[in-house]
Amino acid sequence: MIVGVIGSGSIGPDLAYGFVSAIAREGGRVYLHDIKQEALDAGMARIATYVTKALARGKLSESAARAVKEALVPTLSLSDLASCDYVLEAATEDLPIKRKIIAALESVVRPDCLIGFATSGIPRAEIVKDTKHPERCFVNHPFYPAWRSLPVEVVLSGDDAFGARMIRTLEKLGKVPIITADAACFAADDIFCNYVSEAARIVAEGVATPAQVDAIVNDAIGGGGPLNVMDLTRGNLLTVHCQELMRDAPTGSPWFEPPAILREVGNRPWHDPKNRGDGRYDEALGKKVLDRILAVLFARTYFVADENICAPSDLDWLTRMSLGFRKGLLSLAEEYGIDRVHAVCVAYAAAHPGFHVPKSITQKSLPRFRKNVVVTRDADLAIVSVRRPEVRNALNRETLAEIESAMKELAADDSVSGVIFTSQDGALAGADIGELASLKTPADCEGICHFGHAVLETIASMKKPVVAALNGPVLGGGAEISMSCHGRVVGPELVLGQPEVNLGIIPGYGGTQRLPRLIGFERALDLLRTGRSVGAKDAHAFGWATVAPTKDFLGEAKALVRRHLAGEVKLGPVDPAPLSVPEKLPAVDLGHHSRAIDAILVSVVRRGNALPLAEGLALEAKGFGQCKETVDLDIGMKNFIQNGPRVPAAFLHE
């Protein structure tokens, strides 16, 4: 893939670094273009600083750093972008200049080259008015810090083929595309800029200082505080621009008029770095400021949802990931309760003419949505996708419950013939370790296993075919839920494993019972006891993957379901019958792993696989509970949380 980024100013270098980090190792190339040499030099110097820091922190290997440097090409010549598959213009928020850049770009690139515009609020329709090929042009709105922030808002062109390519391209570049309507400021910046503007009004009115506003907001909902974020992004004047766009939009009103203080502060910081001011506040001030901030946040969030600018599930994830709040704003509204949400919004509207309270709030009927699971359709096939990319799609209890509810709905939907189970990027990194570490008693541990077993049984017992489409790390609970599906298609980057013994536990979602039934007792026991992982080719050779690895793992999963429906292949759950268990087990080098946990594991695997699957799963749950009685579980969990997966735990074997 060859990518171009136009503009080496505030955001272009960050985007270029993020893109090249995603594709350099596979032979990709990224051009960073600007018309000024000094801007290019400054951008490349910033990227060099990122690489140096990543090397020092162990986030980047020497070989990866070399690949990044070799694949990144600074250029003053727009013609160098002629071979690009995708170009993102990130040079300006000035509409006439933006149009001129795109006109020049269209004369250089191929007709099938994707073109994106990084804009905080200008509608796509305004930008593409004079383009030759509007069908390949998209809003691509990234977020700070652009090199590592996952979400990108996308306004589609209406051309299905180009739209699908745009989505795949952004995913390949390590981003999570969020589709929005072509409204002024789209979804996130509608909410964010109004939030910042309200904070500015509060300061301008003398209600609270910048330090107090940020402290009140951050203490309640996180995100660092609106004015602190302005200092980080130097975004005061951009906020003015966005407020004017919303004021002049068909849904605008004088309430959107940007407060004068935003222009007065301009590019200066709200906080003096040497003396940030006293952020202390009393209860009355805290409530006064927070009620105003929440009213604006909730009203604008539900405006976006009610107007179908962004789907509720997408919007909740987007507001958490792009704005940094401790929860998505729809989830925060649920936490505060509809009565509080309604009260603060109605009270604010009474004092601020032109402020719109959306129907969801006035009618006290908030939309229902899944927070971590997205269900889409491809004709008669449903795709159930886990979306927690910030934790590699780890399966916490809430996510498992959402998967179960989605599967039950699809089982009852006569328009659905088959189901694909996957994630936003194909990875399923396992259970939520923080959640497992919080379990207090052996009974709690046993209980979470029974909960997980029920979810997986819902999948396994589906009358419609369910095929997992996987790539990247598929570990622990992620591998276990995949084994409950009726087939598995994997990409070439699959890393498959049951690494639970590294944490001082055994698999608890069926891994001790389904893995031996799927790939054979001795091979499974080796993987379970050592915690080692295997790649895509071995997963297929062992029988874990149903077909050979393929880059288009999602497409092949759909094809596999259709072949089953046509009677060409037969898919089904793991055979629940007992296995023939050997008397003598092969020797295994346990290395640093806990002998106490290994004894529990071996007992569960041997005894459970000699029984029908349901009885074996009951033994697994008891074994998982027994792990809680060991010292080594506590050691393993604490080591993982403190040091990550690469540092072996110093088990005591007791």
CA distances from 311 to 165, 183, 211, 256 (A): 21, 14, 34, 23
Kindly state whether residues 512 and 420 are assigned to the same domain: yes
* Mean predicted confidence (pLDDT) in 340-356: 98
Kindly state whether residues 346 and 421 are assigned to the same domain: no
- Angle between the 613-627 and 595-609 helix axes, to the nearest 10 degrees? 170
Kindly state whether residues 504 and 629 are assigned to the same domain: yes
Residue 133 pLDDT: 97
Last residue of a domain, one of 153, 180, 207: 180
pLDDT one-digit tens code per residue, 155-169: 999 999 999 999 999
Statement: residue 550 has pLDDT above 90: yes
Q: Is residue 501 part of a domain?
A: yes
Last residue of a domain, one of 363, 383, 415: 363
Kindly state whether residues 115 and 219 are assigned to the same domain: no
Percent of the chain past pLDDT 70, that is, above it, reads: 100
Helix (H) or strand (E) holding 135: none
What distance in Å separates the CA atoms of residue 545 and residue 538, rounded to the nearest whole number? 9
Edge to edge, the sheet with strand 418-423 lists 373-378, 381-386, 418-423, 466-470, 487-490
Q: What is the DSSP letter of 615?
A: H
Total domains present in the chain:
3
Kindly state whether residues 380 and 355 are assigned to the same domain: no
Last residue of a domain, one of 320, 338, 363: 363
Token code pair at residue 117:
């515009």
User: 152: which strand partners?
Assistant: 177
Q: Is residue 457 part of a domain?
A: yes
What distance in Å separates the CA atoms of residue 616 and residue 606, rounded to the nearest whole number? 9
Q: What is the DSSP letter of 441?
A: S
Kindly state whether residues 18 and 115 are assigned to the same domain: yes
Residue 276 pLDDT: 87
Kindly state whether residues 506 and 559 are assigned to the same domain: yes
* Unique residue bearing structure tokens 């570049």: 173
Statement: residue 616 has pLDDT above 90: yes
Q: Is residue 486 part of a domain?
A: yes
Highest mean predicted confidence (pLDDT) among 58-62, 572-576, 585-589: 572-576
CA distances from 137 to 130, 249, 415 (A): 11, 22, 34
Residue 553 pLDDT: 98
Q: Is residue 650 part of a domain?
A: no
* Unique residue bearing structure tokens 């997963």: 539
Kindly state whether residues 454 and 345 are assigned to the same domain: no
* Mean predicted confidence (pLDDT) in 207-233: 97
Kindly state whether residues 295 and 423 are assigned to the same domain: no
- Domain that includes residue 22, residue range: 2-180
Kindly state whether residues 307 and 341 are assigned to the same domain: yes
CATH of the domain at 459: 3.90.226.10
pLDDT-derived band at 547, boundaries 50, 70, 90: very high
Kindly state whether residues 111 and 154 are assigned to the same domain: yes
Q: Are the beta carbons of 100 and 164 closer than 8 angstroms?
A: no
DSSP states of 235-285 = -HHHHHHHHHHHHTSTT--GGGSPPHHHHHHTTS-SSBTTB-------HHH
pLDDT one-digit tens code per residue, 77-123: 999 999 999 999 999 999 999 999 999 999 999 999 999 999 999 99
Query: Which own/partner contact pairs does 346-351 have at CB distance under 8 Å and 24+ positions apart?
Result: 347/291, 347/295, 348/291, 348/292, 348/295, 348/296, 348/299, 349/295, 349/299
* Mean predicted confidence (pLDDT) in 40-68: 95
pLDDT-derived band at 349, boundaries 50, 70, 90: very high
CATH of the domain at 309: 1.10.1040.50
Statement: residue 48 has pLDDT above 90: yes
* Mean predicted confidence (pLDDT) in 594-610: 98
Q: Is residue 651 part of a domain?
A: no
Q: Is residue 368 part of a domain?
A: no
Selection from 503, 454, 451 nearest residue 476 by Cα: 503
What distance in Å separates the CA atoms of residue 200 and residue 196, rounded to the nearest whole number? 6
CATH of the domain at 49: 3.40.50.720
Residue 599 pLDDT: 98
pLDDT-derived band at 194, boundaries 50, 70, 90: very high
Selection from 160, 163, 162, 109 nearest residue 132 by Cα: 109
Mean pLDDT of the chain: 97
Q: Is residue 648 part of a domain?
A: no
What distance in Å separates the CA atoms of residue 482 and residue 537, rounded to the nearest whole number? 17
State residue 119 phi and psi, 5-degree precision.
-135, 145
Q: What is the DSSP letter of 120?
A: S
Q: Are the beta carbons of 583 and 577 closer than 8 angstroms?
A: no
CA distances from 149 to 67, 321, 392, 580 (A): 21, 8, 14, 50
* Mean predicted confidence (pLDDT) in 490-513: 98
Kindly state whether residues 430 and 325 are assigned to the same domain: no
* Mean predicted confidence (pLDDT) in 500-504: 97
Selection from 148, 131, 108 nearest residue 19 by Cα: 148
Statement: residue 72 has pLDDT above 90: yes
CA terminus-to-terminus distance, the chain: 52
